[in-house]
Amino acid sequence: MLNPIAIALVKVHITPNVLSLTGIVLAFISAFLYYNEDLWLAASLLLVSGFLDALDGAVARAGRKVTKFGGFLDSLLDRYADSAVIVAIIIAGLCDLLFGLAALIGTLLVSYSRARAESEGIQMSGIGLMERAERIVLLVVASFLNVLWIAIILLALLTNVTVIHRAVYAWRNLRH
């Protein structure tokens, strides 16, 4: 679905790293807007940031610019984006502190568990409920409905369930 857009961006010399950097800037602006409790605009920018995150990989593939460093940079910037948004929500008092911290920890460990398992040769794509796209959609929808605190509770629970699911999956594949 992203391929036609990716091909068009390659033709006008937009690089994957430009999309990644634009995405992180939008995520930080989104975090600032969450901090200022402007939920609609924060959610809108978070959605655009997430779209650019999906698009950067498609542009890399379409432009034959896939590199190990590009994948590393993309993943690193995603963790900064996720952390900035959740921390802003916590600091703004838009959620309970403990649920916010549990959501932050779970969010980071979802990504870490995937990276660590894949470094051992286990493919983790599709394992668990709360990958990055699902987390962004949950936050955006909850922001538009003004029930962000519910999204944080769900993130606190479901990200950590995802980590446990991935840990069990890794254990099953690594125990021999």
Report the distance separating Cα 123 and Cα 126, nearest Å: 9
Q: How many other C-beta atoms can be found within 10 angstroms of the C-beta atom of residue 137?
A: 14
Question: Where in the sequence numbering do the catalytic residues fall?
Answer: 78
Helix, strand, or coil here: 32? Answer: helix
Q: Is 81 left (phi over 0), alpha (psi -120 to 50) or beta?
A: alpha
Q: How many other C-beta atoms can be found within 10 angstroms of the C-beta atom of residue 172?
A: 10
Query: Dihedral sign, CA of 44, 35, 80, 174?
Result: negative
Whole-angstrom CA distances from 103 to 3, 83, 98, 139, 174 are 32, 10, 8, 11, 27
**Encoding tokens for residue 24?**
């992180």
